[in-house]
Amino acid sequence: MSTQTLLAVDGLSKSFGGIRAVHDISFALADREILGLIGPNGAGKTTCFNLITGFYTPTAGRVSFKGRDITGAKPFAVAQGGIVRSFQKTNILRRLSVFENVLAGHYLQARQSLLSTFFPGKKVAAVEKSVRESAAEIIEMLGLQSRMNAPASLLSCGELRLLEVAVALAAKPTVLMLDEPAAGLNSSEAMAFGKILKKIRETRVEAILLVEHNMSLVMAVSDRLVVMNFGEKLAEGTPAQIQGNSQVIEAYLGKASI
């Protein structure tokens, strides 16, 4: 059985003035895969996310999704197509409750016009009921049920990161892109989050692209890893291959332990 490529970047580059933030990056995300994108601070990981999701236009290279060229597509169109990201900077409405934020995610994220396709054949009231049920399910999946009615402003940093993932899931992504979702979680919370990520992949999305600094987490959940350093691709392989790669170890020396 051949694995199907969902998302591919090919020769992707982005310069800001003289800074080559991303240079000639290529990788593919396969159906059912969790792909970790790692590298030291400033390596170009978030810029890659911005290029894939249409927030930046590449200087060179292509992005394709399900075989279609989406290079240069607007963020709204990319999200509507099914590539949904969480943000490294929080994207939460702090005065709304956890439940209201996830509810709003169903309507406000790019795919609201498709609500009728999520819940085909249902009348408005029934759709609303389904959306509320879906929001409650997502909140429970992220382990935030005890915080359901708390205003987002009262959440801890770690809980906020989980809520961001919940809001992204509300948009029914095909590909979920997470930028440092475990920042602010302690090590046992991070490992619990790893289990949640696998469950999300099993039940809610077709593939996950994960930028994460917590090495135990990213090594435990990723099927494969792409390592970036100074905007370039340094290595690609399974967690075991990457952990044994001397160039990768060197890139991380004095920065983070791998």
Residues near ligand ADP, by CB under 6 A: 16, 19, 21, 39, 41-47
Residues 53, 56, 60: CA angle, nearest 5 degrees: 100
Pairing between β-strand 5-16 and β-strand 19-30 as defined by DSSP bridges = antiparallel
Sorted by sequence, the CB contacts under 8 Å of residue 239 that are 6+ apart come out as 36, 218, 219, 220, 222, 225
The least CB distance from residue 43 to ligand ADP, in Å, is 4
Residue 13 makes contact with Mg ion by CB under 5 A: no
Rank residues 43 and 234 by Cβ distance to ligand ADP and give the closer one: 43
Q: List the x/- string, 37-76, binding to Mg ion by CB under 5 A.
A: --------xx------------------------------
The least CB distance from residue 19 to ligand ADP, in Å, is 5
CB under 5 to 8 A by kind: which of Mg ion, ligand ADP, none does 47 bind? ligand ADP
Rank residues 47 and 134 by Cβ distance to Mg ion and give the closer one: 47
**230 φψ region: left (φ > 0), alpha (ψ -120 to 50), beta (else):** left
Name the nearest CA neighbour of 35 among 19, 21, 52: 52
Question: What does DSSP assign to residue 95?
Answer: T
Sorted by sequence, the CB contacts under 8 Å of residue 41 that are 6+ apart come out as 255
CB under 5 to 8 A by kind: which of Mg ion, ligand ADP, none does 43 bind? ligand ADP
Rank residues 44 and 173 by Cβ distance to ligand ADP and give the closer one: 44
User: 41 φ, ψ to 5°?
Assistant: -50, 135
For residue 224, give the 3-state DSSP assignment.
strand
The least CB distance from residue 210 to Mg ion, in Å, is 12
The least CB distance from residue 231 to ligand ADP, in Å, is 7
State the number of binding residues for Mg ion (CB under 5 A). Answer: 2
CB under 5 to 8 A by kind: which of ligand ADP, Mg ion, none does 41 bind? ligand ADP
CB under 5 to 8 A by kind: which of Mg ion, ligand ADP, none does 239 bind? none
Query: What secondary structure does DSSP assign to 184-199, as a single string?
Result: T--HHHHHHHHHHHHH
CB under 5 to 8 A by kind: which of Mg ion, ligand ADP, none does 143 bind? none
Rank residues 131 and 248 by Cβ distance to ligand ADP and give the closer one: 248
Residues 8, 243, 240: CA angle, nearest 5 degrees: 75
* Six-digit token string for 223: 């099927």
The least CB distance from residue 82 to Mg ion, in Å, is 23
CB under 5 to 8 A by kind: which of Mg ion, ligand ADP, none does 203 bind? none
Residue 134 makes contact with Mg ion by CB under 5 A: no
The residue whose two tokens read 């994960």 is 210
What residues make contact with Mg ion under the rule CB under 5 A? 45-46
